[in-house]
């Protein structure tokens, strides 16, 4: 039911305004008297977890529907890879040999910021001004590769989505996410569902635990038939070949040889976009 759907009942929004300012009495000032959906303490009870799951699934779903987001191009990747202009400061902050080595390896990956930015601009150029938007860039909403993705879409004049997550250290949405498409999640599971519910292509850049979590869940969903196959583009064959021995998994028999075909290694935005256009012809239009 949309906000404009006719109903004979008084709208909840109106009555919520009245209920928020009751005549003060011993009864009305007790938490028990609050409307259930205005009672934060009640909604945060452990017993209400299933309701919070539903709300966290439903809110982005409704707003994305209202924004006419038909499909997305999802970008995964590290929150630590610097933009090229940040490399000098990163190196200067490395004060020990071990820190300098890590900084050097991260600096080598700075080119992926630009690749993500250019690929997102290519995807953004397909959105145009039409109401039904295809291949809308979707990232985790944070810094680094996520920022590059939203930035590329922004520079192409296209909307983009950011799916942030509440973390012990605040993760502020990057400045390039479309404000009306910037969401915050408590549950990783619901966030990951929204990453993939509309995904028609996924670009995966070098990353850590979070990126691995997202990538392997995606591969599992496609492998098991829970999700339709989509182009899965792994940027940086040397990185992925070093940190994951996919061929060994097949040799050990724990995955099928055909499972190695679920993804493709790429190095550049142009290479990735060519694959997307070949597998999803509508992306060329």
* Residue ranges of domains in the chain: 58-284
Per-residue pLDDT of the chain (285 residues; tens, 9 = 90+): 455 666 677 788 888 888 889 999 998 999 998 999 999 999 999 999 999 999 999 999 999 999 999 999 999 999 999 999 999 999 999 999 999 999 999 999 999 999 999 999 999 987 544 456 899 999 999 999 999 999 999 999 999 999 999 988 767 899 999 999 999 999 999 999 999 999 999 999 999 999 999 999 999 999 999 999 999 999 999 999 999 999 999 999 999 999 999 999 999 999 999 999 999 865 545
Q: Tell me the CATH number of domain 58-284, given options 3.40.50.450, 1.20.1260.60, 3.30.1220.10, 2.60.120.10.
A: 3.40.50.450
pLDDT digits (tens, 9 = 90+) for 186-208: 999 999 999 999 999 999 999 99
Nearest to 57 by CA among 196, 227, 236, 226: 196
pLDDT digits (tens, 9 = 90+) for 72-104: 999 999 999 999 999 999 999 999 999 999 999
């Amino acid at each position: 039911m949309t906000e404009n759907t006719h109903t004979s009942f008084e709208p909840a929004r109106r009555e919520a305004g009245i209920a928020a300012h009751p005549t003060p009495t011993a009864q009305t000032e007790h938490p028990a008297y609050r409307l259930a959906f205005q009672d934060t303490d009640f909604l945060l009870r452990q017993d209400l977890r299933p309701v919070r799951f539903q709300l966290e699934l439903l809110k982005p779903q409704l707003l994305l529907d209202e924004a006419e987001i038909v499909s997305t191009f999802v970008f995964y990747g590290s929150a630590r890879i610097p933009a090229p202009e940040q490399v000098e400061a990163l190196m200067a902050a490395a004060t020990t040999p071990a820190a300098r080595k890590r900084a050097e390896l991260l600096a080598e990956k700075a080119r992926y910021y630009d690749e993500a930015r250019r690929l997102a601009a290519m995807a953004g150029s397909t959105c145009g001004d039409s109401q039904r938007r295809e291949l809308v860039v979707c990232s985790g909403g944070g810094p680094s590769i996520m920022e590059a993705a939203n930035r590329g879409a922004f520079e192409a004049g296209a909307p983009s989505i950011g799916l942030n997550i509440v973390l012990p250290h605040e993760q502020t949405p990057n400045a390039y996410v479309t404000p009306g498409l910037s969401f915050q999640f408590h549950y990783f599971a619901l966030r990951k569902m929204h990453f993939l519910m509309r995904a028609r292509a996924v670009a995966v850049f070098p990353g850590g635990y979070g990126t691995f979590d997202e990538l392997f869940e995606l591969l599992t969903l496609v492998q098991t038939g829970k999700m339709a196959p989509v182009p899965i583009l792994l940027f940086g064959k040397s990185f992925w070949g070093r940190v994951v021995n996919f061929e060994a998994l097949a040799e050990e028999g724990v995955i099928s040889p055909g499972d190695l075909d679920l993804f493709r290694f790429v190095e550049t935005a142009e290479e990735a976009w060519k694959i997307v256009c070949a597998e999803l012809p509508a992306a060329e239009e």
